[in-house]
């Protein structure tokens, strides 16, 4: 059974070391690598190249730019042993090929183990629903610390 996203679960999925408030590279691939490296540095990725290949393959399938300035690159891969989420934001935006043509300014990365299809969908859908609210997006733009980002996400999914 898939766990719901709770406050404890947000802190486990996206601890503060997975959150960067510095602007990422403007190129999509470089931005994906930037977020991936946050997870590598936090020892959440066992094989960086395999994880990168999975993320890029997913990008080839269909856009992960969901609109409203949001990008959510994501993949299931054996390169990770536990579900993880990374976050960054970009003032200029990164082109994730969103249907509305808007560059992504709030960018989340989701990586889950190959066997975690249910959890992958649960995290993706819960996060997507939360980000549809203007207030949540505004608070993420205004967040001053990684802890603020965690608090916004916790409140948004409550």
Record the tokens describing residue 86, joined without a space: 């990374």
Catalytic-role residue among 18, 74, 120, 133: 74
Inter-residue contact 1 to 148 (CB < 8 Å): no
Any residues with CB less than 8 A from the CB of 4 and at least 6 apart, and which?
Answer: 122, 126
Query: Does residue 74 have an active-site annotation?
Result: yes
- What CA dihedral angle connects 26, 100, 5 and 110, to 10 degrees? -40
Inter-residue contact 108 to 86 (CB < 8 Å): yes
Catalytic residues: 74
């Amino acid at each position: 059974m898939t766990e719901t996203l709770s406050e404890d679960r947000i802190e486990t999925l996206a601890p503060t070391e997975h959150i960067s408030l510095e602007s990422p590279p403007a190129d999509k691939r470089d931005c994906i690598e930037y977020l991936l490296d946050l997870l590598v540095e936090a020892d959440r990725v066992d094989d960086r190249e395999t994880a990168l290949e999975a993320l890029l393959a997913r990008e080839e399938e269909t856009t992960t730019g969901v609109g409203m300035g949001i990008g959510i690159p994501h993949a299931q891969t054996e390169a990770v042993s536990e579900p993880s989420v990374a976050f960054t934001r970009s003032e200029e935006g990164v082109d994730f090929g969103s249907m509305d043509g808007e560059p992504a300014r709030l960018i989340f990365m989701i990586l889950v183990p190959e066997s975690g299809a249910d959890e992958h969908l649960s995290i993706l859908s819960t996060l997507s629903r939360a980000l549809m609210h203007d207030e949540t997006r505004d608070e993420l733009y205004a967040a001053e610390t990684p802890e603020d980002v965690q608090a916004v996400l916790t409140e948004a999914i409550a």
